[in-house]
Amino acid sequence: MSGLLIEDLRVTIGTAAGPVHALRGVDLAIPPGTFLGLVGESGSGKSLTASAVLGMLPEAATVDAGRVLLDGADILKASRRELRRIRGSQVAAIFQNPVATLNPLIRVGDQIAELIRIHRGAPRRRAAVEAVDLLAAMGIAEPRRRARQYPHQYSGGMAQRAALARALACSPRLLIADEPTTGLDATVQAEVLALIVDRVRAAGASVLLITHDLAAAAQVCERVAVMHDGAVVEQGPTAQVLTAPRDPYTRSLIDSYVLAVDGDTPVEAR
């Protein structure tokens, strides 16, 4: 099958305090071209699931069972070399704290151009031009000047735009966005989310959006999956999961989210 299919993924992490059964049978499907929101409390295993899809599980992790199929090929069985090819060209990621995600020592344009050269074999000059075009497509003003700058010269929102440019440089089929707007100003959050939707839809790729923000997931994702204690307890069309949840944990997650959002609303505005 094409798209992403995770079947019964079980991962244990060795810690000083003993083994932690961090993923206890994760089942997840993202059909091609679909946005899936992955929600659930802190520590439920969302980021670890994303790491497995990127072939980047921590050293201390052991895969006890399961398959992670990306367009039919099992990521967990891929060699290092295959993983390097898959990462970037089939699956790419953006994370919270984009400035830290980008390489601090390399000019932003060069980081993007390097990927284009490695994955697509483009000549140096052509890759540099494409990198500037990509920055422009992500809404970065004066892209030529910006391409010559280093990540620390970017604001948070701009750095996330640049990280998105780098992630999309080799037209991956799946973008993992792990809390991509957390920590950005509210207006910038909305802009970055809209940009992700716009650019990814234009490319026909799919998205795994990891977020604490149920409203954001509801706004942009056709499907939602809910993680609890290392497993996906419920997944399905967004409207169904968020308005008629079947699992008690999903219900409590929605209730606590609504309470938190109401708590943020000034009394006079309620």
Ligand X SMILES: Nc1ncnc2c1ncn2[C@@H]1O[C@H](COP(=O)(O)OP(=O)(O)OP(=O)(O)O)[C@@H](O)[C@H]1O
List residues near ligand X by CB under 6 A. 13, 15, 20, 22, 40, 42-48, 58, 60
Determine if residue 242 is left, alpha or beta; phi over 0 gives left, psi from -120 to 50 gives alpha, anything else beta.
alpha
Residue 235 is given by DSSP the state E
Q: How far is the CB of 224 from ligand X (least distance, A)?
A: 15
Name which of 21 and 107 has its Cβ closer to ligand X. Answer: 21
Name which of 45 and 109 has its Cβ closer to ligand X. Answer: 45
Name which of 111 and 189 has its Cβ closer to ligand X. Answer: 189
Separation between Cα atoms, residue 4 and residue 171, nearest integer Å: 16
Separation between Cα atoms, residue 102 and residue 84, nearest integer Å: 17
List phi, psi (to 5°) of 52. -65, -40
Q: How far is the CB of 176 from ligand X (least distance, A)?
A: 12
Q: How far is the CB of 254 from ligand X (least distance, A)?
A: 17
Beta carbons within 10 angstroms of residue 180's beta carbon: 30
What strands lie across the sheet with 35-39, from one edge to the other? 91-95, 174-178, 206-210, 35-39, 223-228, 231-237
Q: How far is the CB of 259 from ligand X (least distance, A)?
A: 19
Beta carbons within 10 angstroms of residue 225's beta carbon: 27
Name which of 16 and 269 has its Cβ closer to ligand X. Answer: 16
Q: How far is the CB of 47 from ligand X (least distance, A)?
A: 3
Among the listed residues 44, 63, 48, 51, the one whose alpha carbon sits nearest the alpha carbon of residue 226: 44
Find the angle CA(93)-CA(138)-CA(158) to the nearest 5 degrees.
Answer: 80
Q: How far is the CB of 60 from ligand X (least distance, A)?
A: 5
Which residue has tokens 């995770």? 6
Separation between Cα atoms, residue 95 and residue 100, nearest integer Å: 9
Q: How far is the CB of 61 from ligand X (least distance, A)?
A: 7
Burial of 244 (0-12, 13-18, 19+ CB in 10 A): exposed
Name which of 19 and 204 has its Cβ closer to ligand X. Answer: 19
Name which of 67 and 212 has its Cβ closer to ligand X. Answer: 212
Q: How far apart are the first and last CA of the chain?
A: 47
